């Protein structure tokens, strides 16, 4: 149950990160479009161009950090799902073993009941003689 909760939290966190990554991409596109338009219209000075490029690089670094985070959270999600699948498989194996043991016990009980019945039949036969 705890693994499922962790998986749900990781999935929710992953979705939030993906949304944030998309928002940053949109911001980067707007920043890039604005930079190009300004360069075309006003012929920005080298100092201003350098500032915009530095800002663009900052957005790229920020985007890369977000992408890395999303990839890491996806890996954690995959690992949690793998652990959950292993736990489910282990529970299934234990269940199968338990059912086999139950069947063996029921067969033993049936054999004992048959032996008791035979004993009672023989005992009643001898009492009647």
**Per-residue tens of pLDDT for the chain, all 129 residues:** 787 888 888 888 888 888 888 888 899 899 888 878 877 777 657 777 788 889 999 999 999 999 999 999 999 999 999 999 999 999 999 999 999 999 999 999 999 999 898 888 777 766 655
The DSSP secondary-structure symbol of 32 reads H
pLDDT at 89: 96
Looking at residue 76, its pLDDT comes to 94
CB 73 within 8 Å of CB 14: yes
- The pLDDT value recorded for residue 125 is 64
87 CB-near residues (< 8 Å, 6+ apart): 3
Tokens of 24: 């940053």
Spatial distance between the Cα atoms of 51 and 38, rounded to a whole number of angstroms: 13
Are the CB atoms for 22 and 102 separated by under 8 Å? Answer: no
Tokens of 70: 């999303």
């Amino acid at each position: 149950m705890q693994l499922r909760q962790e998986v749900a939290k990781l999935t929710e966190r992953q979705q939030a990160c993906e949304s944030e990554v998309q928002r940053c991409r949109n911001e980067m596109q707007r920043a890039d479009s604005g930079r190009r338009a300004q360069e075309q219209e006003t012929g920005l000075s080298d100092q201003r161009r350098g500032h915009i490029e530095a800002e663009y690089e900052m957005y790229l670094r920020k985007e890369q950090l977000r992408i890395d985070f999303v990839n890491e959270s996806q890996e954690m999600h995959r690992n949690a799902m793998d652990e959950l699948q292993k736990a489910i498989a282990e529970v299934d194996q234990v269940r199968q073993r338990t059912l086999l043991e139950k069947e063996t016990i029921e067969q033993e009980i049936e054999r004992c009941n048959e032996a008791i019945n035979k004993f009672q039949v023989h005992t009643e036969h001898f009492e009647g003689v």
